[in-house]
Structure 1
């Protein structure tokens, strides 16, 4: 695995540090008036989710890990596990449902997601950025109401609550951004 200098760390990099795998969440480059420059890095452990703040000087060497990304198709849920199939080799794997965290309700039958592996261990799973959902309930559409920065609450069929513009009604399909978990556009 390649070693990089402390000042080359970027958000999203996966680092091997203190015997664990850490994802750099936030990186601030600091140049104090006295002393050498350093990078203040906020990291999240990929295995247990704990956070850590660490300082890396430019002379510090840190091991950067490359994760292998594979497309996996969601098949079904079995207990607390989700069963996926590799779209190239057709191998099936089971992953715990909490690998998706709060985005779990957006997973739909047959959806293809990206799973990041280190060796054969699945560390992270990413849904497509935009998902189409149906609105289960919301306030009725009011004629003459403009869409000027006013939003109303809506509950999707998967149980997630989002804020939608006033012109969107019940049983309509909308597109939701899975990263921000917010309304993106009408479907």
Structure 2
């Protein structure tokens, strides 16, 4: 696996550090008045979910890990486990339900997600960037109200609360960005 310098670390990278596999969540490059520059890196362990803040100087070498991505279809949930099927081999795998975190409600039956593997071990799952949901509850549409930076609360069919523009009413389908968990557009 390739080694990279500490100043080359970017969010979204996967690193092998202290005997564990880590996903880089956030990177701040710091140049103090005294001493050398360094990267303050916030990482999340892919196996245990624990977080770690670590400093890497530009001379530090870190092992970058490449994960294999496979499209998997979501089948069902059972006993706190999500069951996915490989769309090519029809092999089924189980992942813990908390692997998706707060994005879990956006997972729909039959949805294709990207599961990331490291040496045949499934470590992470990523939802599609946009998901269509139906609005169950929101304030009624007010005629003549402009959409200039005014939003109102709404409850989606999966129970998630988000902010939507004033022209969107109950029963409408909208597209939600799963990365930011925000309204994107009408469906």
Q: Distance in 2 between matches of 1:49 and 1:27?
A: 18
**CA–CA distance in 2 between the matches of 1:139 and 1:51?**
39
Distance 2:70 2:3 in 1: 24
Inter-partner Cα distance in structure 1 for 2:84 and 2:113: 9
CA change 1:145–1:34 in 2 (3 A) is closer
**Which aligned pairs between 1:10-159 and structure 2 lie closer than 5 A?**
10-159=10-159
Which is further off, 27-36 or 106-115? 27-36
Q: CA deviation at 1:174?
A: 0.5
Number of residue pairs aligned between Structure 1 and Structure 2: 187
For residues 28 and 34 of structure 1, what CA distance do their matches in structure 2 show?
Answer: 17
What runs of 5+ residues in structure 2 fail to find an aligned partner? none
Partners of 2:21 and 2:123 lie apart in 1 by 9
Q: Deviations over 1:2-30 (max 9, x none)?
A: 21222221221111111111112222233
Q: How far apart, in 2, do the equivalents of 1:94 and 1:75 lie?
A: 10
Residue in 2 that maps onto 1:185: 185
The TM-score, its normalising length taken from structure 2, stands at 0.94
Q: Which runs of 5+ in 1 are unaligned?
A: none
SS at match of 2:103: helix
For residues 121-158 of structure 1, what are the alpha-carbon distances to aligned partners after superposition, in whole Å with 9 as ceiling and x for unaligned? 22111101110001111111121222122111111111
CA, structure 1 residues 34+142, in 2 after alignment: closer, same or farther (shift >3 Å)?
A: closer
- Distance in 2, matches of 1:34 and 1:165, equals 48
Which residue is equivalent to 1:164?
Answer: 164
